[in-house]
Amino acid sequence: DGGITQSPKYLFRKEGQNVTLSCEQNLNHDAMYWYRQDPGQGLRLIYYSQIVNDFQKGDIAEGYSVSREKKESFPLTVTSAQKNPTAFYLCASRARGGLNQPQHFGDGTRLSIL
């Protein structure tokens, strides 16, 4: 079955530590997205990528970094510069361009501070 796999499901970060969240898709989608979800805030876009080796900042990119070396993979690093990282992180993918196809989501990673 095609889909998006996020790992780990739960992640704990110590002060001053960088952590990386994994996102892999086998849907052959060009576009991939990272969102942060906080209670009562809805989904906020962190970074997105429309094609391999290219990505753009979303609304809340500060303290985060990404890479897109392969079409299937779009890892998100939460750096020590992100002072309030506790949240639910969601990865998504979508066919690019003129195709009216739905966006798909992974099951999320919940990040907490130790």
Partner 1 sequence: KQEVTQIPAALSVPEGENLVLNCSFTDSAIYNLQWFRQDPGKGLTSLLLIQSSQREQTSGRLNASLDKSSGRSTLYIAASQPGDSATYLCAAANSGNTPLVFGKGTRLSVIA
Binding positions for partner 1, rule: CB under 8 A: 4, 6, 31, 33, 40-43, 45, 48, 50, 58, 88, 90, 92, 94, 96-108, 110
Phi/psi at 23 (5° precision): -145, 120
CB atoms within 10 A of CB 104: 16
Closer residue to partner 1 (CB): 52 or 88:
88
Closer residue to partner 1 (CB): 8 or 18:
8
Closer residue to partner 1 (CB): 78 or 90:
90
Residue 56: exposed, middle, or buried by beta-carbon count in 10 A (0-12, 13-18, 19+)?
Answer: exposed
| Closest distance to partner 1 from the beta carbon of 104 (Å) | 7
| Closest distance to partner 1 from the beta carbon of 43 (Å) | 4
| Closest distance to partner 1 from the beta carbon of 110 (Å) | 8
